[in-house]
Structure 1
Amino acid sequence: MMYFKYRKHRILSKEEKRVERIQYLFRLVSENDAACISQLRMDRRTFTMLCEMIRDIGGLRDTRNMTLEEIVAMFVYVLAHHKKNRTVAHKFLRSGETVSRHFNQCLLAVLKLHHMLLKTPVPISDDCTDDRWKYFKFIYVLPGWEGSAHDGRVLLDAISRPNGLKVPQGCYYLVDAGYYNSQGFLAPYRGQRYHLNQIQGRRPESAEEYFNMKHAKARNVIERYVASELYKLEKLNFTFKR
């Protein structure tokens, strides 16, 4: 028979928590750049500059129980790692209410810096000599379909609208097997190997398989780009629990 001894963990006092928070913050933003970059995605100099901007322009100040540096570090940590309220509260030895309140206050201060932190995109002119830019555009978006519908029906609706989807002369859109080959739309051959893991390391056995291989590679690039854009939107849509 085995016996286990349970040791009662002593609860930290307020003063001990305060000292531990100071030590953790020092290790995070003052000790070395490696730790700061790893946890906050910026070096110590950049973090100091951000704190000064939030103080001078954003108007955020130290509170009775929290320094501005801790508030900003907590805010940036959430953005850097997409952590939830409970995780951040445990990390910084704060209550969930304290974390949420100061996160939102810091967010409001950061929004006042939008003219300095956000770089306005420069439109690409039509006479740009780099041909690649014209391909990185959302050409058409059709929202609002309720329930379920076949892919082909949605496409037909988009094409038939007065200001709907237009296919430039001599150009084609890649579509998956849920659509049919038609004017301006290229779908893969059905009944042939298509996915890259089915073709990897093998030579195409027919012209149809060769076409499917090229189609799958191009589609893979597009899907990776769309996934990266959705990830950015997910970050922007992040809501912090109160």
Structure 2
Amino acid sequence: MLPGTFIALLAMLMNKGLLSPSRYVSAKEKLATFLYVVGHAASSRQAQERFQRSGWTVTQSMNEVLSAMVRLYPTVMRPPGSSIPWEIHSNPKMFPFFKGCVGALDGTHVPAIPPPSGAKPFRNRKGYMSQNILAACTFDLKFTYVLAGWEGSASDGRVLEDALLNKGFVIPPGKMYLGDAGYGLRLNLLTPYRGVRYHLREWSLGNQKPQSPKELYNLRHAQQRNCIERIFGVLKKRFRILVTAPEYPFPSQSINLGLKAKTLPKQG
């Protein structure tokens, strides 16, 4: 994180009364400890060595900043607007065909260490323990919604259904998100044709051009939906804890993984 971004984030947390210094630890050090752990997937022992603090102090700093980030969520998270996104309106390949789309959504798996008593559902189809995290973003790479905590074995469609029915995910009336074929077709979700070439890497082979209207639609859909894959890549590169199973209690893992997408990337 750039120094200016760090200072701006610290000022925001302190000005809103979400984070404050304690007798022996400044608010700056608490935030630095948190970012060190999530940015480098550092263990508590590594953080203790880096900041020359006890395990208890590191844990307290992590918990305080985590709580502050969660409470910051309503400030930094914004639903998409009702106007046509610039990325659509300014591109003749996309407008007017995708004028009702406000962003893209997808699921991503991140390693998890669930409680032993309920670990089995977290084993995904690739064989490792994970959470299936749903996220939606605008075409300029700003997250509009994140839902963490679902087991790795849960389908993307099931997670989306829970988000829409129970977890406050609202799609503006008359608007749509772009999603992959795994979600199935619904009124507020635009998906590609099944059985037709889709992924951008498929189009890069042989430099081929679309041979039918369905192939052209799938190509444009994939090009525009690529924003969600890009932001997942940025997020996992910036916060290494998202690619390494964290050693912290599972409830903290769920909150922690979700708030990275909700807050930190938007701060630069």
With the shorter chain as reference, the TM-score category is 0.3 to 0.5
- Which is bigger in relative contact order (C-alpha 8 A, separation at least 6)? 2
TM-score normalised to structure 1 length? 0.43
